[in-house]
Every structure is written in C-alpha cells, then in structure tokens.
Amino acid sequence: MTLPTRELGDMCLEIDGTVVSENCNKGEVKREKQTEDSTGMHADYEQVVTTLGKASIPATIYLNFGEGSIEELLSEIFEEDKIVEVVFRPKKGKASVTNPGYRIKEAILTSLPIAVEGPKKLMSVSVEFMNNGQSGVERFTVPAEGESEI
C-alpha cells in the first residue's frame, strides 16, 4: 500500500525545540492505517479492515558540523533513542486554516546516515521521524503561544 503523503513547501522545521528551517529544503507528512484481509467465503471482492495507524515526518536536511550543529543535534537524538517533538509550521505567516502546521509530539529518529570521512562539506541527509506515541500526526490551525514568523 502506498503511504499517503503531503509535501510541504515554505515550511519551518522544528526538532526538539530547535528551529532548523535554514537547513531543511523538503519535508512531508505521512499518515496511513494498516489493513488486514477480512474477505469471507464466496465473496465477489476482497474486503479489508483497518487496524493500527502509522505516522511519520520525513525531511531532507543540509548538515552543518561542530558545536551546536544540525549533525550534533541529530546524532544526539539518534544515539540516545531520544523521544522528541517534531513540528512543521508555516515559515511565512502563522498557522491558520488555509496554512496549517503539523506536529508529532512523540517521535523517534529511526535512521541517520554516517557522515562522510574527510573535510566536512555541505551535504544533505534524508531522515524520518516516526511516531512513538498515541497522538500520531496532529494538524494545527491556531498559532502556538508566542509563535512568530521565521
């Protein structure tokens, strides 16, 4: 089954309270429900029932290195199996009905490519934050307290 996605452009990515929108050029929100075959005997068509849901926020991020860098932030989250909040919200304007934001309150980073050896050049990595809580992906249309444009 193909996972339904919503690609987001001109959005601000926030990982564990750290805004990384200057280092992120692409993101998506994915939601799906698993299905199981429930076809009965002598059925004319296959029937399915939905069960557990899945949710994730994949993103492509340009790495920078050193103290306080994106690479350091992602490595810490990955190596410590840290549960973080991941938010995609509008970069211009505040969250609204016509320009919503999305959040996973409890997410884990499931993979992190190893940095290339040698001089630290600008490179990008594709990472995916998977839901690790009961709320999945939340869509919000009301700006968070103190939210401002980036």
- The predicted pLDDT at position 85 comes to 96
Print the domain residue range for 83: 8-25+57-140
98 found inside a domain: yes
Q: How far apart are CA 91 and CA 81, in angstroms?
A: 28
pLDDT digits 0-9 by tens, 80-139:
999 999 998 877 777 788 878 889 999 999 888 776 666 666 578 889 999 999 989 998
70 found inside a domain: yes
135 found inside a domain: yes
pTM equals: 0.76
79 found inside a domain: yes
pLDDT digits 0-9 by tens, 50-63:
888 889 988 888 88
Domain count, the chain: 1
Tell me, what amino acid is at 87? Answer: V
15 found inside a domain: yes
- The predicted pLDDT at position 12 comes to 84
Q: What percentage of the chain carries pLDDT values higher than 70?
A: 82
